[in-house]
Copies of this chain bind each other. A is one copy, B any other.
Amino acid sequence: MADVLRVALAGLGTVGGGVIRVLDENRELIARRAGRPIEVVAVSARDRLKNRGVDLSRFAWVDDTATLADVEADVIVELIGGSDGPALALARRTLAAGKGLVTANKAMLAHHGLDLARAAEEAGTALKFEAAVAGGIPVIKGLREGAAANAIGRVYGILNGTCNFILSKMESEGRDFAEVLAEAQALGFAEADPSFDIDGVDAAHKLSILASLAFGTAPAFDAVEISGIRHLLAADIAEAAALGYRVRLIGVAEAGASGLFQRVHAHLVPSDHPLAHVTGATNAVVAEGNFVGRLLFQGAGAGAGPTASAVVADLIDIARGEFGPAYAMPADALATTAAADSGERRGRAYLRFSVADRVGVLAEIAAAMRDAGVSIESLIQRGASAEGSVLVAIVTHEGPERCVEHALERLRGSQSLTGEPLWMHILA
C-alpha cells in the first residue's frame, strides 16, 4: 500500500471533530478505498484546552493557524469559516506551498474561489470543496463529473437547511415565521444570529459555486439576487397550499443568451415537483442537462457527519490522485458572463398584499396590475386578521417580471396597503 496521505486540520468545531471521527471509525475501509491510509498529523484551532470529545493528543498542535500550511502534510483541511481573515490566509499559504486544500468554506469560495483555483493550478495541487455546498450530498462531483457531458440549462435547489426546516414547520403546523425561528434556534437548527441563513446569503454563496461548475463561468457571487424568508406569513403558506404549491427557498441559476441569472428567493413549488417533498433540514439540488434531463441529488445539507463525509470524500479523491481543476476546467477557461436582466425574465408570480379593510382597495390593486400589464390568474381575499388587516393573494399569468415590478411601484406609498407586499416566484 502506498504512502500515508498526511492531513493537517484547521478548525475543530462540529465538522472538524466529525472529520476526525470519520477517519477513526472508518479507518480500514477508507484505506482500502483510497488505496492508502489517510491520517491527521496536525491540528489547529483557537482554543487548545476546549473539550471536543476527541483525543487530540496524538496530533501535533499548531497555535498560529496560518502556519499550519508549513507542517509536514500533504493536504490542509480548512474548517475555520469566514470569507477572509485566517481562513483565506491559510488557504493561500497552503496552495503557495504546493499542498492540497480541502475546504467547506462557501463564503471564501464565493468571494475568492477563482483566485484560489488559479493558485492551485499554478502549484499543480488540489483544491476541493464538496462540503461547501449541500453538506454530504456529492453535488459538486455530480456537476463537475457526473453531468460533465451536458450543457446545463439550469441548476436550482434547496440549499439552506435552516430555511427549509423553518418553512416545513410553518407548513405542517400553520405557525408564523418568528415563532418557528425561535424554536429552531432552541433546537440548534438555527444560529443565534440567523441572518446569513434566513436572509438567503448562505444559499447565495452555495448557488454561486454551483453556477460556476454548471455553466463554466467564473464565480459571480455579487451578481446573485438575494432575498430570504423573514417576511413570509403562515397565511402565505396556506394560500400556496390551497393553490397546489409548497413554499421553498430556492436558489436558481440559469445561463442563457441574455447572460447569467442567479437568484435566491422564496418560490412556490408545484406539489408534484420533487423539491416539494423535501422537508426539514434536508437539501436537494436539481441540474437540467441537454442530454441527461433532470438530475436530482438529495440528502443532509449540514451536520457534523454529513459534512465530514464530504470532506473525507475529497481527501479520498486526493489520495487516489483522482482530481483536476477545481471548477472542472482551468480558471482562465471560465467565461466571464454578464448578469442577465431579471426584468426580462418571464414567469408566474404570487403576490400578497396586506390591505386596509375598506371600500376600493381591491379596485386599486387590480387597476395597478392592469396598468402595468400584469394578467391575474387568481385572486383570493380572506376576511380580516386579528390585527384588522386583510390579506389579498394574487397569482399572475406568465409574463415579464418587469411588469410585476411596475405594478408594485404603482402601489408604493398607497394608503390602502398596511405593509410591504410580498412577491414569490412560481417555479416552472
Among B290, B322, B328, contact of A145 (Cβ-Cβ < 8 Å): B322
CB distance from A29 to the nearest CB of B (A): 6
**Interface digits, A361-405 against B, CB 8 Å rule (1 contact, 0 not)?**
000000000000000000000000000000000000000000000
Q: How far is the CB of A116 from chain B (nearest CB, A)?
A: 19
A300 within 8 A of B: yes
Q: Which residues of B contact A130 (CB under 8 A)?
A: 146
Q: Is A298 an interface residue (CB 8 A)?
A: yes
Task: Select from chain B the residue with minimum beta-carbon distance to A277.
Answer: B277
A149 touching B292, Cβ below 8 Å:
no
At the interface, yes or no: A35 with Cβ under 8 Å from chain B?
yes
Which B-chain residue is minimally distant from A300 (CB atoms)? B293
Q: B320 touching A324 by the CB < 8 A rule?
A: yes
Q: Say whether B32 contacts A329, CB under 8 Å.
A: yes
Please give me the residue from chain B that is nearest to A325 by CB atom.
B35
A293 and B299 CA atoms in complex are apart in Å by 7
Q: Which residue of B lies closest to A213 (CB)?
A: B33
Contact flag A149-B22 (CB < 8 Å), given A32-B216, A320-B324, A322-B323: yes
Q: Flag if A295 contacts B299 (CB, 8 Å).
A: yes
> Is the Cβ of A142 less than 8 Å from the Cβ of B148?
no
Q: Does A200 contact B (CB under 8 A)?
A: no
In the assembled complex, the Cα of A295 lies from the Cα of B294 at a distance in Å of 17
In the complex, whether A342 has a CB less than 8 A from a CB of chain B is no
Taking CB atoms and an 8 Å cut-off, the chain A residues in 121-152 that contact chain B are 130, 136-138, 141-142, 145-151
Give the Cβ gap from A125 to chain B, nearest Cβ, in Å: 15
* Residues in chain B near residue A328, CB distance under 8 A: 33
Whether the Cβ atoms of B308 and A291 lie closer than 8 Å is yes
Question: How many copies of the chain does the oligomer comprise?
Answer: 2
Q: Pick the contact of A300: B22, B26, B292, B303 (CB < 8 A).
A: B292
Q: Are B26 and A290 in contact (CB under 8 A)?
A: yes
Known contacts A294-B299, A297-B296: does B137 contact A317 (CB below 8 Å)?
A: no
Nearest chain-B residue to A25 (Cβ)?
A: B290
Q: Which residues of B contact A284 (CB under 8 A)?
A: 296
Chain B residues with Cβ under 8 A from A29's Cβ?
151, 216
Instruction: Give the distance in Å from the alpha carbon of A35 to the alpha carbon of B325 in the complex.
Output: 9
Interface assignment of A18: CB less than 8 Å from any CB of chain B: yes
Structural contact, A146 and B138, CB atoms closer than 8 A: yes
Q: How far is the CA of A41 from the CA of B329 in the complex (A)?
A: 24
CB-defined A-B contacts under 8 Å, sample of 20: A18-B291, A21-B291, A22-B149, A26-B149, A26-B151, A32-B333, A33-B328, A33-B329, A34-B148, A35-B325, A136-B293, A141-B145, A145-B317, A147-B313, A277-B277, A289-B309, A290-B305, A291-B309, A292-B306, A297-B298
Instruction: List chain A positions with a Cβ less than 8 A from chain B.
Output: 18, 21-22, 25-26, 29-30, 32-35, 130, 136-138, 141-142, 145-151, 216, 274, 277, 284, 289-300, 303, 305-306, 308-313, 315-317, 320-325, 328-329, 333
Closest 3 pairs between A and B when the two form their complex, measured CB to CB: A138-B146, A149-B312, A136-B292
A33-B329, A141-B141, A293-B305 known; 14 new pairs, CB 8 Å cut-off, are A18-B291, A26-B151, A33-B216, A34-B148, A35-B325, A136-B289, A136-B295, A138-B145, A145-B317, A293-B299, A296-B297, A296-B298, A297-B298, A322-B324
